[in-house]
Structure formats: structure tokens, C-alpha cells
Amino acid sequence: MSSLAAGTESGRSGRAPRIGSTRRAVLGAVLLCALAACGESYDADIVSVKAASGPGGTNEQFANQLAGARGQVVWSASKPAQYKDNPNVVEVAAKIDKTTRAGAKRQVEAAWINNRQTKQVALERLSIDGQPQSLVSGALGLLMMQLE
């Protein structure tokens, strides 16, 4: 009985000790790192596609040139559904938001496939303002957009 009274007087009622905020932060960071390790990283694929030869230099230079001084480029990567049976193929996309001199908002999306096994990069698709483009019409569309 005396030990129960001593526990009550010290503010503890026999429950497990409380975890401090520092310990909670450390546990949260460890859990977050463990979850991040479970997901696949596409950083190396994005680096490979950016560095690959493209029109007028590298693909990264091409995307930055299209964006110009008023635009921005956002790179992303994912596993494409059409290549779900091939774990070596990753799609890397550059979404380019551009504002023309006239103030019009334009959006270009270029997507490449990166084959991790063969180390090959190929242009998969191109769209301007959401409209899919062939190689010829895409080139003309991009040229016209640069002239705007």
C-alpha cells in the first residue's frame, strides 16, 4: 500500500513513462526514413534523362530553353503502365509552364523513357497545351511558341 501511495504522490499512477518531445521527434524521423526507403527512388532516372542528348544540347537545356526567362520546368518520374512488365523502364517527364511575351500561358509536357538496363533514353511523347503532338507538328508548334 505504501508503494501505491508513493506512486500517486509523485504524480505517477503506475502507467508507462511519458515519451518526451525530443524522443517523439526522433521516433518520427526514423519512421519517416523507413517509409521513404520502402518506395522506389527515380532520382537517378531524372538525372540520366536530363543529361542525355536532346535537340540543341541536353534534354535539360532543351527544357530550360523552352521555359525561357518567364517559365519554369518541373521534372518527375514514374513507372509507365504500358511498360509494367519491364521493371527497367521508367518514364521521366518535364512539365514546362511558360508565359509568352504577350502574357499567354502555355504548357508543354515532354516525356522520355529511360531504360536502366540498356542505358538508353528515348522521347516517348510531347504535348502542347494538353494536345498530343507528332514529332513534326510538335517541332513546328514549339517553334511557333518561341516566336510568340
Neighbours of 1 (CB within 10 A): 5
Amino acid at residue number 116: R
Strand partners for 122? 113
Mind listing the pLDDT tens digit for each residue in 118-146? 999 999 999 999 999 876 565 656 656 65
Mind listing the pLDDT tens digit for each residue in 47-79? 999 999 988 899 999 999 989 899 999 999 999
Q: What is the pTM of this model?
A: 0.67
Q: Would you say 116 and 88 are in contact if contact means Cβ atoms under 8 Å apart?
A: yes
Please state the domain extents for the chain: 2-38, 43-147
